[in-house]
Structure 1
């Protein structure tokens, strides 16, 4: 995608499309809510890129996802009631099956106007404690792989799940994690860390970078040492981090010095909420290898949780500041020089889709389609 060349730039190479105007591609499986938040015989509200989605669990335990608007008067179905395997609108009690078809209109009589067929149903799957929907072409859902995360269900690992709302375009999140040169931001949590790029590679749908993290002194959060398998002594060690954007997801693995396997692995998906895609929900799984001493990880869990919350809070402050600058300037004025991020932007542009702004749904304001965040 290439923007039209401005008159004052004639003779120069065309500028690439502003990445913050590129939408995430819908032909993928995206987590929208935690499985535990959708209780049996209950319905919750979710969203994907301005599309409101009602996620409900029937009496048999199966999860369904429907367009969150009754075909009758457009009242949100997430305000409705689950009866057996159907979702009934709270207003006039129209009932919908999991495929979106209307199964009952209580007061429909002979000679009445022909009712609509129903509402859109989204292909839905549950995995890793999350409810995934496929918001793109439903014919492609069966052939599109789900995230492969063997550690998430392994007895050798324990998984920490988190979900947070961040008011920025999803691309800022990809850039933040892949560019480890921003560790100065975390100096109060990690101490003085010296990141060194060991190498990187990229392809049509991925960018992967490897960094060597060498401690340089300074006070370090106790949870950081426990997470990287340093133990309670909080000894300094060098770690190798491998971060990969495999569109549309992102992963990180940390291998401590002298180890042959990761101490932990992170998987994250950044799911746009509003139509302008200037707010996203971050769904993440932190998979931590269990130590030999039984119960040690349980004792360390609160400290690890606190550490991850501190890091995420600092990252959120930075990326939301980047988004505010884009909003104020009306364009991306970043002067990026890091080759890894330049390649990442190419991948995100090439695999994205033109952003649909001012298109019904939840509108373009960042907070207009944002369900409450969960922890």
Structure 2
């Protein structure tokens, strides 16, 4: 894979912001990846949960064995949501006429099926995995699911860290979320939570499917939220020093690592996935995992946990306010009028365009993955 390392430029190259390209907000997310669609704890034993990916409704259910299954959320009979159904062993029974579905999407029982009549083929089933407290589905070609890895998040599994899970709907195209996190020049937005922060871009790398930026964060004054203070070097018992932050968009995910000066182990790591909900992909479900290294004092992180969560919720609320305002402007103008001058974000946009797919009215996950939808129902 080609990789380019860039030093942080003082200004964009002339004309770079005016390069003609497809409107990124009309680019859909690629299907052949694993996407979280729910927190594991919300799919209870013998229970169901309604989820969605880019306009395709998905019914999650956990069978008697504890295994989670993911089916198209429409009964083949009358299109009633299967998420309204009842779990019977490893099957999901429609609440309307009691048709039973296996985890493969095949119909296993119709109570009143006439003799000699074959049942319909059923509904689409999605490959599904559980990891890091999340339920992932694979909305693309199911034959690629086995060879496509889940995101690798060692901190979320490490006993040296404690991890909190975030799950929020955000009314914007997923690309606004990537830009928000990667462009740390927006810290003025968080001045009431973080005080005055001076971010310095040290450099960045780019490749076919990634952009990675390195920043140095210095606190220039102002009052920090208590949770922010607890995450700082001083709050963790160290000396005041700048923080080194690495942010990587590794398509389609995003990762952030904060390493305090003089150390190598990240003080905290953030994983984020922005999963389109609607067919037009103007709403996303943001899933995040924040893994925080445990300090030397036993129990200190547990006591600080409510304050850290409040801090992260405040920062996220401010970011959501900004990106949703960006989406409203796009909706009003009908196209992207952004006058972007930051070369890092221009590189990011190229990566998101190159790896995405067009958004068209006839392309939900099922329409775009024809081979995966061979289980579309047929009439009796």
Using the alignment, how far apart are the partners of 1:324 and 1:52 within structure 2? 25
Equivalence for 2:20:
15
Instruction: Give how far 1:22 is off.
Output: 0.2
1:162 aligns with 2:166: yes
The verdict on how the C-alpha distance between 1:208 and 1:361 changes in structure 2, with shifts beyond 3 A counting, is closer
**Counterpart in 2 of 1:105?**
110
The CA deviation string for residues 221-245 of structure 1, in whole angstroms up to 9 with x for no partner, is 1111212342178974310110000
**Shift of residue 96, structure 1, vs aligned partner:** 0.2
- The separation in 2 between residues aligned to 1:228 and 1:161, in whole angstroms, is 20
Distance 1:144 1:361 in 2: 17
Answer yes or no: is 1:175 the counterpart of 2:179. Answer: yes
What residue ranges of structure 2 are gaps of 5+ in the alignment?
1-17, 367-380
The CA distance in 2 between the partners of 1:65 and 1:292, in whole Å, is: 42
Matches within 5 A, 1:69-148: 69-110=74-115, 112=117, 114-148=118-152
> C-alpha root-mean-square deviation of aligned residues, in Å?
1.7
Pair 233,152 (structure 1): closer, same or farther in 2 beyond 3 Å: closer
Q: Deviations over 1:38-63 (max 9, x none)?
A: 01100100000000000000001000
Between stretches 58-67 and 236-245, larger displacement belongs to 236-245
Structure 1 unaligned segments of length 5 or more: list them: 1-12, 363-375
User: Is 2:195 aligned against 1:191?
Assistant: yes
Q: Distance between the aligned counterparts of 1:25 and 1:175, measured in 2?
A: 18
SS state at 2:92 partner: strand
Change (3 A) 1:14 1:209: closer
- For the Cα contact (< 8 Å) 1:228–1:264, is it kept in 2? no
1:3 alignment partner in structure 2: none
Greater RCO (CA < 8 Å, at least 6 residues apart): 2
Partner residue in 1 for 2:48: 43
Distance across 2 between alignment mates of 1:41 and 1:230: 47
CA shift, 1:256, in A, is 1.2
Alignment partner of 1:31 is 2:36: yes
- Contact map agreement 2:140 2:365 (CA 8 A) in 1: no
The answer (yes or no) to whether the contact 2:31–2:365 under 8 Å persists in 1 is no
Q: CA deviation at 1:145?
A: 0.7
Q: SS at the partner of 2:147?
A: coil
2:364 and 2:128 map into 1 onto residues whose CA distance is 24
> CA 1:235–1:323 in structure 2 vs 1: closer, same or farther (change >3 Å)?
farther
Name whichever of 143-152 and 221-230 sits farther off. 221-230
Alignment size in residue pairs: 349
Q: 1:154 to 1:233 in 2, by over 3 A?
A: closer
**Alpha-carbon distance between aligned partners in 2 of 1:223 and 1:360, rounded to the nearest angstrom:** 41
C-alpha contact (below 8 Å) 1:49/1:273 kept by paired residues: yes
Runs of 4 or more consecutive aligned structure 1 residues displaced over 2 Å after TM superposition: 232-237, 356-362
Q: Which residue of 1 aligns with 2:305?
A: 301
State the match for 1:56 in structure 2: 61
Partners of 1:335 and 1:125 in 2: CA distance = 40
Q: CA deviation at 1:150?
A: 1.0
Task: Please give the secondary structure, in 2, of the residue aligned with 1:171.
Answer: helix
1:318 aligns with: 322
The structure-2 alpha-carbon separation of the partners of 1:157 and 1:329, relative to structure 1 and needing over 3 Å to count, comes to same
Secondary structure of residue in 1 paired with 2:146 = coil
Using the size of structure 1 for normalisation, the TM-score is 0.90
Contact persistence 1:275–1:358 (CA under 8 A): no
Which residue of structure 1 aligns with residue 290 of structure 2? 286
Compare 201-210 and 223-232 and name the one that shifted more: 223-232
